[in-house]
Every structure is written in structure tokens, then in C-alpha cells.
Structure 1
Amino acid sequence: MGCTPSVNLEAFESTEQNYFSVQMYGSDRLRLILAPNEINNSTRDVLNAKWSIISEDVQKGFVEFLLGGRPWYSDYNSQIKHFLCSLLQVYYELGWYLKASTDLERQDKETDVLFFQKNRPLKSSIICISLNSSDKIKVLGPKIIYPIIKHSVIKSWYKGIQDEQVFENVYELKLYGNPWNDWLKDSQDYLNCPLLILEIMKDMFKKGWIFVGAIDSSQRQSSLNALYFRKDAEDNEINDLEKTRFFAMSLNKSNIIRLHKADHDLKLLILNPQYGIKSLWKSG
């Protein structure tokens, strides 16, 4: 299969594994590492329903699917995110929860590697909120979500909404300004971005949608992480915001840490001279 490595993970495969990883490799490959057979089979089923599989390479503890087109470097942005929503939903139903999503290579054009941990099976709905261009939010989910996101933006984005439209089962908001441009680190737009995302997360949580993770599934240098949320079918309760705190921490320039919407006691905890930042960073 060309770029497919020769691997042998038999030593790992022979022991009970509670973790596996998914790698979106190159522009057209999906790799499963130490995934159980049920995950290999379910992933194949989702791919066949959402995409086209050109070929498949199976080795000990390793499966690679070569996909048609260039899904990780293409204009199929929404289609890929719909696929990931379906994949995450199936994984949760099988009891595999997303625990981490991270870039493991020092390259600009790399997608994230996803890590899953074994847990109890959970029937959930998965939706995606995608940040696009320099000023757009796309919502891939049921129509009942649309007013929640719109209300969050109206409350937290001081410049307001320029336009909104629905196309191909995607709800798109175009904002005034350029919230996703980071060329001016101390601009008002940049400082308000964490507040905007926090408001979306809070309002979604209040309606029963729990944040799952942020995933970058595109190799384009201008790509941004998409936010994924789940709502459990067995949980009909509305989450209580009074018992849950939300805040954001951003690492800025080369030496600045910013806390957004952090409670006073949390700030004191972080600044505590005995076990806060001051105790860990001796340079002051």
C-alpha cells in the first residue's frame, strides 16, 4: 500500500488493551492502532456508508484504510466532520470514549491523533461545531441546536452576526470581524474568542450537551479545531450550571497566561506561592 509501514504489534495485541488510537495519516489514510476487532469492523462499516475504501491493510494490531479522494486535504470539510460524528457515535455505543486528541508531529500540515479508552457502552448523539475561515461558525447537528448557538453568539460576540444560512444540513453563522485570525494577539477580537467559545460550551451544557473534544481533521495550514459534543440518550435531565464552572486558559506570546471567566478562588489557587504557578515556574 505504498506508504504503509510494516509493523508487528503482536506483543501488545496478546494482552488486554483498554486503549486504542486513530490516526488520520497523509491525505487519504485512516489507521487504527491496537483497536479490537469490533472497532475495526465498525470503522469499516462507517467508512463504507460515508466514504469509499480503495484498499485495506491488516497487520498485527494495526489496520490501515486507503480512502478515495483526499479527505484530510480536500474541500469536503463538512462531509469529513459528519463522518467523524458518526464514527464517534458508534465508538461510544461500543463503550470507547475519546480521551485525547493531539498533534504528535512538529509539522504545519498534520491532523490530530485520537486516543480512546474502554468504558461502559453509551448510546449518544454526537454533533460538531466547526470554526471556519476567519469569521464563520458551522453547526452540524439537529435544527434544535441552531437557536442555542445563535443565542450564545449574540450574547458573547460584541460585533454581532453578519449573516446566517442553512445548506446541506449545515447551519452557518458569519460573524462581523475576524475572530479566528490571530495576527494581532492583543486585539479585542482575539481577547473575546475564548469568551465566545465558553458561552457556547455553557449553553450547550445547560441543554444536556457535554463537550467531548476538539479535533483538527484537516491538513490545511489554515484549518482550525472543530468542537464535538455528545448528548446521552438515557439522560433527559437539564444540567445545572450553578454546580458547574467553566473558564478558559490561554497561553499567549512567549510568557503570558490568561484566565478567562475564572472565579476569584480559582485565580488564588493558581497563584498560590506553595503549589501554584509561582511554585512551579522559578523564573517568576
Structure 2
Amino acid sequence: MNPPYSEKEGFPQQRRMSDSDAPSYTPFRTTFACLSLHQSDRIRMMQFRPEDVSATRSVIQRHWTKGLQSERIYSASYEFKLSGYPWYGQGSDAIASRVVVREIFAYLFSQGWILHLSTDVSRSKYDKDSLIFRKQQTPPPPSEFIAITFNQGDRMRLIGAPNALLADVRILLKEMKLLQAEDWKDGKLQAWEYKMYGWPWHATGEETMTTRLLLLKLLETLESRGWSVYASIDQTTGTEDCSETDSWYVVKERGWVEGSAVFHR
């Protein structure tokens, strides 16, 4: 049967859909929350559950040996002020501050708070990233985290990494003729440091591409052991003359078997 046509325009007439014709669905609402780093010593949490705020307090107290100086409601957020200056990232604080953030990531991940994006929305000279999390109804499988940092002009640290991964990164740096020396930077916090030839984090000219190639090969090395980069964030206060490199937080599902798929969150 031919469709009815408009007498004036000669096109098929469109029947208006009634409410009864519309497909039924269940409204879906995503919950987002924000964790942000401020000044030299503050963490602010917005739209997290009270139990998540309480658990984060415990994580800070357990992994930041200098302790909490104070806490308060700050506008629409809850603020923790840490003793000392974790976001200046100098000396032993540079490692301990990454351990704190790593363990906060690990807790939130276990509760189904998955990092959605890290974003810089401030024009402040000394700003750091804001971390937006999305609540997942079913938490991901139990997983473990490590941190990777790019220090000074020629150092790379793996914090909390297993020996097998340390050995693989050593092989990579030797193959690229970059490894100058290596040793524990902090044995208690399991921070292993590689010192490289040249200045990969201050590279110029063609060396800038050697640095990018190193990152690609590092990602391949991580994935061969079941790890993937979960977050790359700016958490350190820079200076007027020098910006800071990101810190990588890397995740692997517990029980991962070599040769199986690596899931990227």
C-alpha cells in the first residue's frame, strides 16, 4: 500500500508518535566526584560518599607519616590539610606523596570509583590537576597499583614495582643505551631509581623523539607484564622557571596470567 502524500508537497506524511508508541526505559544517572590537589599540602573531595571520605582519611594517616594537620568542610568539598609539603615533591616527600596518591587511587578503584579524566582547569602558576571519577555499580576485579615518576632531568623511579618488572625496565634501558646507573632511592617505600645518560626530561632537538620512543617502549614493557597506565597526573607544584612532569599510576589485575588480555581502565 502506497504511503499517503501531502496534496501540496507530494512527500509522505509523517505520523506523530504518541506517548504509547515511545519505547520504555529506565532513567540512567551517572554519579561523578572530584578529588583535587591544592596549594602545597591539601586534598579536597567533592561528591564522594561519607564512607569514602572517612576511608581516605585512614589512607592518608597510614601512608603519610607526617600526619594530618587539619580537616574541614571547604565550600562544596571536604578538605584534608597534610602536615609538611607533599606537593612540593622534594627529597623523601617526593616518593611518599606518590605513595599516598597511589593508595587513594587503589581504595577508590576497589569501591568502583574509576578515574574518568584528569584535567587542568586553572590558570594559576602553581596549579595541579583535578581528578574526575565516575561511579561504577560493580567494582572492577581486585587490582594492584604502582607509581612511575620522571625526576630531575635524567631519573626515572618505579615505586612499589615487582622485581620482574624492574628487570624488564633495566633491559629496556640497556637496549636503548640509556642506563647509566640504578639503585634503591628509598628501600622502605620500594622506590627503585634508574639514572639515564643525557637529559631525557630536558631534551632538545632529535633527543625529544628519543624520549617519546622511550615512553612507547616503556608502555609496551608494562603491558607485557599485565600493567596499563591508569592515570597520568600533574601533582607537583612547579616554579616560575620550570614546569613539572606528570606522575604515572599503573594498574594490574591480581592473578593476571602472562599472555592474557590487558584491560585498560
TM range (shorter): 0.7 to 0.9
Q: What is the Cα deviation at residue 126 of structure 1? A: 0.4
Question: Which residue of the other structure, out of 6, 13, 19, is the alignment partner of 2:32?
Answer: 19
CA contact (8 A) 1:124 1:233 kept: yes
Q: Secondary structure at the match of 1:220?
A: coil
Aligned to 1:118: 135
Runs of at least 5 residues in structure 2 that lack an aligned partner in the other structure: 1-28
1:92 aligned to which of 109, 126, 130:
109
How far 1:239 sits from its partner (Å)? 4.2
In structure 2, the partner of 1:255 is: none
Contact 2:89 2:95 in 1 (8 A): no
Structure 2 counterpart of 1:143: 163
Q: Report the 3-state secondary structure (helix = DSSP H, G, I; strand = E; otherwise coil) of the residue aligned with 2:87.
A: coil
* CA pair 233-50 structure 1, distance change in 2 beyond 3 A: same
Is the CA contact 1:206–1:239 (under 8 Å) kept in the aligned structure 2? no
> 1:262 corresponds to which residue?
none
Describe how 1:232-247 pairs up with structure 2 within 5 A. 232-239=253-260
What per-residue deviation string (whole Å, max 9, x for no partner) do you get for residues 170-219 of structure 1?
1111110111004x3xx121111111011111111121112101111110
User: TM-score, structure 1 length as denominator?
Assistant: 0.73
Specify which structure has the bigger relative contact order, considering alpha-carbon pairs within 8 angstroms and separated by 6 or more residues.
2
The separation in 2 between residues aligned to 1:177 and 1:164, in whole angstroms, is: 15
Please, what is the CA RMSD of the aligned residues?
2.2
% identical aligned pairs? 25
Call closer, same or farther: CA 1:59–1:105 in 2, change over 3 Å.
Answer: closer
Pair 74,164 (structure 1): closer, same or farther in 2 beyond 3 Å: closer
Per-residue CA distance 1:41-93 (angstroms, 9 max, x = gap): 11111011122111111367520111111111241111111111111111111
Which residue in 2 is equivalent to 1:172?
193
Which deviates more from structure 2 when the two are superposed, residues 55-64 or residues 94-103? 55-64
The structure whose Rg is larger is: 2
More deviation, 86-95/226-235: 226-235
Q: Report the TM-score, using the length of structure 2 for normalisation.
A: 0.78
Figure out how many residues of one structure are paired with residues of the other and give that number: 223
Match of 2:85 in 1: 70
Instruction: Give 1:188's aligned residue.
Output: 206
Question: Could you say if the C-alpha distance between residues 118 and 236 of structure 1 is closer, same or farther in structure 2, counting changes exceeding 3 Å?
Answer: farther
Question: Match of 2:201, SS?
Answer: coil
AA partner of residue 161 (structure 1): L
Any gaps of 5 or more consecutive residues in structure 1? 1-15, 245-284
Q: CA deviation at 1:240?
A: 5.7
**84-93 or 53-62, which moves further after superposition?**
53-62
The one-letter code sitting in structure 2 at the alignment partner of 1:152 is L
Could you tell which deviates more after superposition, 78-87 or 51-60? 51-60
- The partner residue of 2:126 within 71, 86, 109 is 109
- Aligned-residue offset at 1:107: 3.1
Of 183, 206, 225, 2:246 maps to: 225
What is the identity, as a one-letter code, of the residue corresponding to 1:68?
S
Distance, in Å, in 1 between the alignment partners of 2:114 and 2:172 is 27
Say whether the 8 Å CA contact 1:214–1:226 is kept in structure 2: yes
Residue identity matched to 1:131: F
Contact 2:234/2:246, CA 8 A, preserved across alignment: yes
